[in-house]
Amino acid sequence: MKRIGLLTSGGDSPGMNAAIRAVVRAATFNGLEVFGIERGYKGLIEGDIHPLGPRDVSGIINRGGTILHTARCKEFMEPEGRALAAANLEKHGIEGLVVIGGDGSYQGAAKLHAEFGIRCIGLPGTIDNDIGGTDYTIGFDTAINTAMEAIDRIRDTANSHDRIFFIEVMGRRSGYVAMISGIAGGAEDILLPEVETSVEMLIERLRTGQKRGKKSSIIIVAEGCEYGGAMVLAKRVSDQSEYKDNRVTVIGHLQRGGSPTAMDRVLASRMGVHAVEALIAGEAGKMVGVSGQQLQLRPLSDAWEQRTRFDMELLRVAHVLSV
């Protein structure tokens, strides 16, 4: 193997640049050329491919987002699009591909491998931490710390005004960000896509807290909760109870941006080196994951077939601590 390609796809996450840097420098260390592919599979189809050297990735380990940019690509979902993508890889002499992204990005890599024999290795880049085959994804730690900081700031004003605040965090299918940031932020309740939600039960918890002397409360809501987010839930609580004077804050895309934490930088760096070494060793159709602090290679299909699930004991802990 002499040349490898590198792309980022799907939603961006803090630490993607650290992973790009690691792949480029590990490849250079091992005598390989690296080609960066702009805008994910869209750039691969359009041939937007250029060399990347170790100086091109200087000073990016601390930057959020991705210097290769990212995009969603409907054309790649069609056989003709994938054939064009494979032809562009062949045109540039690229023999292996590192794909940084979520399960949708992995499914694209799996099809390239299955249909055209392209050796692909995936790196898990998503703030949701909802990919099977790994305990943690690149960007998750930064996202929960960003959410926690926002919760801390909102609690100050909630305490000042004796109000209930509903804070919406990202997580359409996974409540991982909501759960961890909620516990870290001392939330009174946490609403998740994975758990059936009862407005009546939430109201009863608020009343119980009030009887115990609580004058303000923080409710964390994953955007994918069954009520459709914090706005809808806050209105339901207002309509069905005496808690009319509540407020809603949607943290939104703030969780995706910003400088990655030390944990995300180190995780991305380790995974990037491991991906390059896996390609050199002849591996293909695999993803790099971490389990118990140890890196491992797993089939790409684990990403969507074995979704990461948090320990539901965490929800019980959150309720215990909300007294």
The backbone torsions φ and ψ at residue 106, rounded to the nearest 5 degrees and listed phi first, read -65, -40
The pLDDT assigned to 72 comes to 86
Question: For residue range 212-232, what is the model confidence (pLDDT) as tens digits?
Answer: 999 999 999 999 998 889 999
Q: 8 with 16: CB under 8 angstroms?
A: yes
User: Rounded to whole angstroms, how far apart are CA atoms 281 and 101?
Assistant: 22
Average the pLDDT over 120-133 and give the result. 95
Q: What does the DSSP assignment read for 182-219?
A: HHHTT-SEEE-TTS---HHHHHHHHHHHHHTT---EEE
Average the pLDDT over 176-197 and give the result. 93
Q: 126 with 137: CB under 8 angstroms?
A: yes
Checking DSSP bridges between strand 3-8 and strand 33-37, what pairing results, if any?
parallel
Q: Domain ranges in the chain? A: 3-139+260-305, 140-256
Catalytic annotation present for 128: yes
- Rounded-to-10 torsion of CA 160, 163, 164, 167: -50
Average the pLDDT over 286-313 and give the result. 90
In this predicted structure, the answer to whether residue 296 has a pLDDT above a threshold of 90 is: yes
- CA angle 201/204/206 to nearest 5° reads 115
The pLDDT assigned to 308 comes to 65
Given the residues 12, 103, 128, 141, the one annotated as active site:
128
Q: Do domains 3-139+260-305 and 140-256 have the same CATH topology?
A: yes
Question: For residue range 227-278, what is the model confidence (pLDDT) as tens digits?
Answer: 889 999 999 999 999 999 899 999 999 999 999 999 999 999 999 999 999 9
Question: For residue range 20-51, what is the model confidence (pLDDT) as tens digits?
Answer: 999 999 999 999 999 999 999 999 999 999 99
Q: 157 pLDDT band (50/70/90 cuts)?
A: very high
- Report the CATH fold assignment for 3-139+260-305: Rossmann fold (3.40.50)
Helix 16-29 crosses helix 262-280 at what angle (to 10 degrees)?
40
Whole-prediction pTM: 0.95
The pLDDT assigned to 275 comes to 98
In this predicted structure, the answer to whether residue 323 has a pLDDT above a threshold of 90 is: no
CA 4 to chain centre: 24
Given 3.40.50.460, 1.10.3720.10, 3.40.190.10, 3.40.50.1820, which CATH number is that of 140-256?
Answer: 3.40.50.460
Q: Which 3 state secondary structure label does DSSP give 246?
A: strand
